[in-house]
Every structure is written in structure tokens, then in C-alpha cells.
Structure 1
């Protein structure tokens, strides 16, 4: 992928109604995740990890900025790509990250039963459902950002 490409779609201008619907879905999923008891820090880790797997520099940049603003440590952000080997993550975070990888890489053989069972055991069905929506939304955003050539470094929180 080249960031110098002229292929940069302004989806807000070209398909504003659909793009705004995506934003509403993302807001609804985030609100429901919080209401279900999913921790904001966990949600940001999930968003970052899916974005890493999908090669979405724009979303990695955005969500690491948001995670830092929420108090996430640099150490954990640096170690996220190697979360399985790093001792900095809780059982809940590990379950969420494993599930995130399985859903994001679903083309590698679906979500394995053992991964699903471990995740539902840690989160319960309601939180698992909300976690799944967070993963689905970030994967959709990754695909939009990568395809439309969104460039990292231009995210301004609250803008």
C-alpha cells in the first residue's frame, strides 16, 4: 500500500448519509459496551489490536491517542502486538484480544469453539455480544480507512 496514492475517497462528502449511519452504529456499539460493563480501556485495546491486524495505520494512530488520553500506559500499548507473551494484560483483556484476533482473522478458519467458550466464560453472553459489535465495527472502519487511504497523523480528538 502506498500512502502517496491519489486514491483517497472522501466518504463523508461522497456518501455522507451512509458514512453518518456508520458513525451512529459505532456510537451505539460503544455506548452499549459501556452499559454492559465492558471497560473503556479494554475496548480501546481491542480496537487497536484489530487495526494492527488489518494494517490500518489511521485507526492504530487514532485509538492509541484515545487510549493514552484515557490513561493507558505506553508499555502496554507497545506490548499489545505481542500480548500473548507480555505479562501486562489481565485475564479479561487476554480473552478479549484472543477473541478479537479470531473474529478479525475469521478467514483463517472461523472462530474456534475453544476461543468462543473461553471468551463467553470470562464475559458472559451479554458482554460477549457487545464485544462482538465493537470488533465488527472496528473491522468495518479498518476496511474503509485502508481502502480510502486515510492517512495517519491527522486525528484530532473531539474534532
Structure 2
């Protein structure tokens, strides 16, 4: 696919606004592991090849294992993720697929494990990567070889 419009060149102010949200998430207190899992899983769910490529590379640099990265799209079927990570991944999927709504069960499971502030940070991280995924998909961004 050919890359389409380059938003930072055409609308730099809009891009800067999203970069502010990204900066907040990166410095919010979320662990690198949680943030990486959110980025990868939301990007898989949205089908953003550019972001999957970028964030799996970042996760490896942060110490994430190949095994967990490869199993992430089947996380429910593996023993590789903690209860906290499972709650975050379930929430990531439901917020990303918001047309199906976030179930009370998923929300309450996350709220039971995460404190209120951390839960808010997780939700903002999911919203952040979903916005970046939409830019990547809409503009045809491609991973490089």
C-alpha cells in the first residue's frame, strides 16, 4: 500500500495535540510492560501493521520475551500473563472494540486489581494507542524491512 497523507506535515498542530497525550501516557506511571502490552494488543486488534512492528520492537528492548509477544493474541489460552496483565488485556480489547461496549465484568475485574489512578492511566493508554493506530491505518503507514 502506498503511504497517503502525512498528517504532521499537513496539520502539525493536530499531530502535536496527540503527541501531548502520548507524552502523558509515557510519563503517567504505567509500567513499561503494561504500556507495551496495551500498545501491542490494541494494535493487533485494530490491525495496524506499522504499530505492531514498532511496539513489538520496543517491547523487546524493554525486556519483553518473544514467547509472550508471540502468544499475546491468544493471551487467554496461555499461562504467560499475570492476573493484573489479564485484566489490562481484557480492558484493552473491550475499549478498543468499543462498539461492543466495556462489560461490567471486565471493568470490575480491572477495578478490583488496579487502583483508581492506575485504571485511569490504563484507559488513557488504550485510547492513546487506538488514536495512533487509526492514523497509521488511515494514512497507510507501513513497517520498514
- TM surpasses 0.5: yes
Q: Which runs of 5+ in 1 are unaligned?
A: 155-159
Query: Structure 1: how far apart are the matches of 2:64 and 2:135?
Result: 26
Q: Which runs of 5+ in 2 are unaligned?
A: none
Stretches (4+) displaced over 4 A: none
Question: Of the candidates 17, 20, 25, which is equivalent to residue 21 of structure 1?
Answer: 17
Query: Structure 2: how far apart are the matches of 1:73 and 1:28?
Result: 26
Question: Of the candidates 32, 36, 45, which is equivalent to residue 44 of structure 1?
Answer: 36
Cα root mean square deviation, aligned:
1.1
Question: Does 2:1 correspond to 1:9?
Answer: no
TM-score (norm 1): 0.88
Show the counterpart of 1:97. 89
Query: Structure 1: how far apart are the matches of 2:79 and 2:31?
Result: 19
C-alpha displacement at 1:125, in angstroms? 1.1
Show the counterpart of 2:107. 116
The one-character-per-residue Cα deviations of 1:120-141 (angstroms, maximum 9, x if unpaired) are 1110211100000000000011
Question: Does 2:63 correspond to 1:67?
Answer: no
TM-score (norm 2): 0.96
Show the counterpart of 1:130. 121
C-alpha displacement at 1:153, in angstroms? 2.0
